[in-house]
A and B are shown apart, each in its own frame.
Chain A
Amino acid sequence: MTEVKECKKMLETIKLSKNFKDKKVVDEINLFLGEGESVGLLGPNGAGKSTTISMISSLLKPTSGDVKLNGKSMIKDAAEMRRILGVVPQEIALYEELSAYENLKFFGRAYQVPKDKIEDRIQNVLEMVGLKDRQKELIKTFSGGMKRRINIAAALLHEPKILIFDEPTVGIDPQSRNHILETVRELNVKHGTTVLYTSHYMEEVEQLCNRVYIMDHGKVIASGTKSELLSILSSEDTIQVQLNKKSDVLLTEIKSFNHVYQVDETDEGLRIISRKGSNILSDLVHAAEKAGIQIVNYQVEIPSLEDVFLHLTGKTLRD
């Protein structure tokens, strides 16, 4: 995760909410994007990420709350927002029967790119996504990864200042995935484009984003830089213990230790969550000897964002 830049708020949501009938899908979300920042939006399926993006991009009217661009509300008139916002949707929002070039030309015209600039823009974005030599081919003949790259290219034609990526690497090959990640990084670092990036892949967010918002059940449950989020877990140690065989007696014995909060069985042994810095190793060795079990490996894990997510939501990102 890159360092946090000091920057002014470019895009901001204030108590943004959306109800579908009686169901609150997004519940008073407050988030902001600083100019030139790359911000991650994490959350399991159904957390409300896509609905939030739809409201920010003016596709969906919020039930309540506000979306501000440089301090100006965009709820009633989002034309200014649309001019500087590019959205890469989760779906391949392209015409399958048209070629890559024809798609880009159509969307370029729809984005009102001037006629004398459109050719250059198309070639530039094709160059950026590495598909310049395939531009005459129909989208329906492309692989999933190539389609996703053109999907990104179509959002870049009007040279947006803010780019929202809604899970842009779902279901693609590693090569295309790397290419997309490089493109996002290049846009953010080299071109100074502000990025809001949602993904199921924690490592992508760790790699690309300065700050992260974690959503669950329509709410932001945590936000901050990586170190800020990891500090949530600063009061705990996660210990992986590999045993030569499983033992219910040992499990029960460990649960009774002081400072141990949680013990779970894993494929190879046990996962113990204990108070930070509490040394349980000697007690563990003693208990194992008593139960006739041999400890094969003992490792205190360095917490990751995945652990933070698990800790906060009780589920993994791909649940």
Chain B
Amino acid sequence: MGSFIKKDLLVFWRDRKEMLMTLLLPIIIIVVLNYAFAGIFNDDKEATKLDIAFVQVDDEEKGFVQFKERIQQLGLSQAEKETMLEHVENLSPITLIRNFINNPDVKEWVNAKELTWEEATDQVESGELDAIIRVPEGFTYEVLSTVMLGDKSTTALTIHAAKQSTEVTTLQNIVNEFVNSLNMNFALGREGTLSAAEPILPQGGREVVEGIDTYTISQYFIIAIGTLFGLFLAQSVALKTVTEKRERVFNRILLTNSNPMHFLLGKTVSTFILAWLQLMITITVTQLLLNIFPDKSVSFWFGMVLVFTSFSLMVAGLSAIFTSITLNLKDSNAVSGLTTLIIMSLGVLGGSFFPLEGFPELLQRIGEWTPNGLTMIAMIEYIQFSQFSDLLLPIVVLVAMSVVCFVIGMFMFPKRGRV
């Protein structure tokens, strides 16, 4: 059987075009998708971080003096005036905004630096900065008048950006929410808690649960594309059988007294080796290029190799079925069409094109039983929980599936005299 495996590997290796496609295409697609979708899915916080300028045009000291003078002119009792002035002493709207920008949650999104208006506008125009938060003249006086005396505000904190983007809109929403919460707190007379006011981040997106890592879109791509190309490898091997059949090499093999099952086993084992190598090369190269799995332990990598090894076995099993289909069908176009249909169906149902979460419940259930879907679910859970025990069941199922596929392939394999 060794000669059959060696022959299949050599034939694949010598077809340089196919070899390059098999090994390089998944890597290229993962890299391209990673860059293309990085902004949308916001995985890479550094890549999507906003660089902004904080410009304080308002003279805070002048605003305080102005507000105190106004209080003195009001027809209030001396005690009321003193209480109000005492509150004002503890208030600094601009400091609150500064604290807000320096809040750790906001800092994950925003790099802020204090600049003059001219410097800031120059840098926004040159593209060095994304936006400016501007504290306009009279802001302190207006805020104090609004929250303490209920005046109508005519001056507001403004955000200026050269171009609108998802990130700038998000920043606007955060700032608005913050200003609203500030007003609410003042209105409720709980000024004392204001220094601890937290920015209210936009609703939606993925919920982050303590102690659990989220999986990134890059990690999704590597599993989705890696497994999809693994499935296509089973088809490539089957299409090589089309050539062997067409050029009567298969007949020549049948004319030898070797067991025809060696032919099928040779295909299966060589597919396993190729699928495994393809996945390992894809993971290694994309990891080196993109650092998709940062700071993961050796045991994590070991678990991942085990899952992909099981998946490679499954691909090998699938190649046994495809090879037998090829030998049973007379039309090579029918072989190509049928195997493509099977792979694309597995790809869609197994979440290789879109994450499974977006599917209706029934389709999700079906998808979980596809080899790529099962691998995807196992890996995503493993990325999130890093529990090796979570991998055992999917590994057993994948290996069992590969055995079942091989047995089906064996039964479908044509008997001598029927090809």
Q: Do A and B come from one complex?
A: yes
Q: Which residues of A contact B (CB under 8 A)?
A: 57-61, 78-79, 82-83, 85, 87, 89, 91-98, 102, 105-107, 109-112, 138, 154, 158
**Residues A91 and B248 in contact, CB atoms below 8 Å apart:** yes
Asked if A89 and B248 sit within 8 Å, CB to CB, the answer is yes
| B interface residues, tally (CB under 8 Å) | 24
Collect the chain A residues with CB atoms within 8 Å of residue B249's CB.
93-95
Distance in angstroms between the alpha carbons of A61 and B7 in the assembled complex: 28
Partner pick for A98 among B14, B247, B258, CB 8 A cutoff: B14
Closest to A164 in B: B255
Beyond A98-B7, A154-B252, whether A79 also contacts B14 by CB under 8 A is: no
Asked whether any CB of chain A lies closer than 8 Å to the CB of B203, the reply is no
SS class of chain A's interface: helix, strand, loop or mixed? loop
* Interface assignment of B254: CB less than 8 Å from any CB of chain A: yes
| Chain A: minimal CB distance from B8 (Å) | 10
> In chain B, residues 330-365, which have Cβ atoms closer than 8 Å to a Cβ of chain A?
none
Q: Given A59-B419, A82-B255, A154-B252, do A106 and B3 touch, yes or no (CB 8 Å)?
A: yes
Give the most central of A61, A79, A95, A112: most B CB within 10 Å: A95
Chain B hits for A110, CB < 8 A: 3-4, 253, 256, 258
In the complex, the answer to whether A105 meets B3 with C-beta atoms within 8 Å is: yes
Question: Closest residue to A102 on the B side, CB-wise?
Answer: B10
B7, A111: Cβ atoms under 8 Å? no
Which of the residues B253, B255, B418 comes within 8 Å of A57, measured between beta carbons?
B255
Cross-chain contact A97 with B247 (CB below 8 angstroms): no
Report chain A residues within 8 Å CB of B252: 87, 89, 93, 107, 154
Residues from chain A with a CB closer than 8 A to the CB of B257 are 79, 82-83, 111-112
B256 pairs with A82, CB closer than 8 A? yes
Give every chain A residue within 8 A of B256 (Cβ-Cβ).
82, 107, 110-112, 158
Q: Does B75 contact A (CB under 8 A)?
A: no
Bound CA span A79–B252, Å:
14
Q: How far apart sit A83 and B258, CA to CA, in the bound complex (Å)?
A: 10
**Apart from A93-B247, A110-B253: 9 A-B pairs, beta carbons within 8 A:** A59-B254, A59-B417, A61-B417, A78-B416, A79-B257, A97-B10, A97-B14, A98-B10, A112-B256
Nearest A residue (CB) for B16: A97
* Contact indicator B417/A97 (Cβ below 8 Å): no
CA distance A62 to B248 in the complex (A): 19
Min CB distance A147 to B, Å, is 11
Q: Does B299 contact A (CB under 8 A)?
A: no
Chain A residue with the shortest CB-CB distance to B14: A97
Indicate if the CB atoms of A112 and B418 lie closer than 8 Å: no
Task: List 12 A-B pairs, Cβ < 8 Å.
Answer: A58-B416, A59-B255, A79-B257, A93-B247, A97-B10, A97-B11, A98-B7, A98-B11, A107-B253, A109-B2, A110-B256, A110-B258
Name B201-250 residues within 8 Å CB distance of A: 247-249
- Does any Cβ of A come within 8 Å of B384's Cβ? no
Residues in B neighbouring A109, C-beta threshold 8 A: 2-3, 258
B69 at the interface (CB under 8 A from A): no
Question: What is the CA–CA distance of A158 and B258 in the complex, to the nearest angstrom?
Answer: 12
B251 within 8 A of A: yes
Q: Does B118 contact A (CB under 8 A)?
A: no
Asked whether B15 is an interface residue with its Cβ less than 8 Å from the other chain, the reply is yes
How near does chain B come to A222, taking the closest CB pair, in angstroms?
A: 29
Residue of chain B at shortest CB distance from A140: B14
Check if A91 sits within 8 Å of B247, measured CB to CB: yes
Asked if residues B247 and A60 are in contact (CB atoms below 8 Å), the reply is: no
Name which residue of chain A comes closest to B15, CB basis. Answer: A97
